[in-house]
Amino acid sequence: MAKARILNIVATECAAKNDVKFNEWYNEVHIPLLMKYKGIKKVTRYKILDEKTKKPRYIAVYEFDTKEDLDGLPASPEFKAAIEEMQGTWKGEMFDIKWAVSCEPLKTWEA
């Protein structure tokens, strides 16, 4: 069984008019820029199933092997480049980061 990883989970929302642009950008630009950081091992994006809820529609789960890898991300040149690109692309029409949380594993169950 693979070791459980440290997670950084980010919930985002964008205006309906920016939905296609936001998803293309997140998938094709933002994640590839962040994946250059050696500490990120896997990223999975999710779209919430119940679109009538008032919760954010998009969730991104970033996986790290260690807390040190997660802690090193904000100071990394890869993160800084991704943030700079994001601010350039989304100036004036920024999507909303509704919340973010980092988690460490306690126990894993598998069927």
What string of DSSP letters covers 67-106?
HHHHHHGGGSHHHHHHHHHHHHHSTTS--EEEEEEEE---
Q: What is the pLDDT of residue 5?
A: 95
Residue 30 — very low, low, confident or very high, per pLDDT cuts 50/70/90? very high
| Per-residue model confidence (pLDDT) at position 31 | 98
pLDDT for 1 beyond 60: no
Q: What is the pLDDT of residue 40?
A: 98
Give the global pTM: 0.92
Average pLDDT (69-77) is: 98
